[in-house]
Structure 1
Amino acid sequence: MAYAACCGRYLDHDTPAPDAESLMRSRYSAYALGRRAYLLVTWHPSTRPTDLDLALDVKWLGLDVREHRQIDADHAEVAFVARSRQGGRGQRMQERSRFVREGGRWLYVDGDLA
């Protein structure tokens, strides 16, 4: 899916993601584009780091959302696999992330790595 149709409207226009999966996809794009501010503002304050150091030599290769589970109106989980390359080595990150909606905006809370 093209950036503008998928995530650009959330990263570039302050439009809230309508669900946890859309937020997950936009956060992946933010990592790929080095958009630290977006990552921090979409991170729940209870778990948000004070700073976020993004490795500049990581090339993000793809995101595969495996499951989006709506727990209730304001809680959801998204299971995904993100692929990247750093220092010539392929990497794979698999996580089940937890999200909460507060004030009409979905926020990343935390996740369990697989």
Structure 2
Amino acid sequence: MSEACPCGRQDARGRPLAFDACCGRYLGTGVPAPDAESLMRSRYSAFVRGDVAHLRATWHASTRPADLDLEPGQRWLGLEVRRHVAQDDAHAEVEFVARSRVGGRGVRLHERSRFVREGGQWFYADGDILN
């Protein structure tokens, strides 16, 4: 069994899911996430693992930056998904809080992210930072 998935998803008994059984199914495999929450969790895991290729591949082309540089030395500490709302078959929102540490300083990212589904695949479109 692999290590626990960084996204923190748990099974029905409250035990952490293994990376291979959770987000590992989507990173670098070409297998699309079944819903926006699963995609958001896989993107968090990609940040933790430094997988820029997955982040770029799952970012909608209309909003994807030309360059994506991860913060050097950033250590991700945890993810809390607060809400997942499927607006219709092709649009969804996920509200989350991601915690990290950069240069000894704690960082908290609270965001409401928007996702779109095209050709059977979910993509991160954009998001609003919340307090």
Q: TM-score, normalised by structure 1?
A: 0.97
1:60 aligns with 2:83: no
- Name the amino acid aligned to 1:83: R
Amino acid in structure 2 at the alignment position of 1:21: E
Q: Which has the higher contact order (CA 8 A, sep 6+)?
A: 1
1:49 and 1:41 map into 2 onto residues whose CA distance is: 12
Aligned partners of 2:54, 2:102: CA distance in 1, in Å? Answer: 22
Partner of 1:3: 19
1:45 equivalent to 2:61? Answer: yes
Q: Which runs of 5+ in 1 are unaligned?
A: none
CA RMSD in angstroms, aligned pairs only: 0.7
One of 87, 98, 110 as aligned partner of 2:114: 98
Higher helix share: 1
Deviation at 1:12, TM superposition (A): 3.3
Give identity over the alignment, percent: 66
Shift of 1:14: 1.4
Give the unaligned 5+ runs of structure 2: 1-16
CA distance in 1 between partners of 2:103 and 2:20 (Å): 29
TM-score normalised by L of structure 2:
0.85
How many residues align? The count is 114
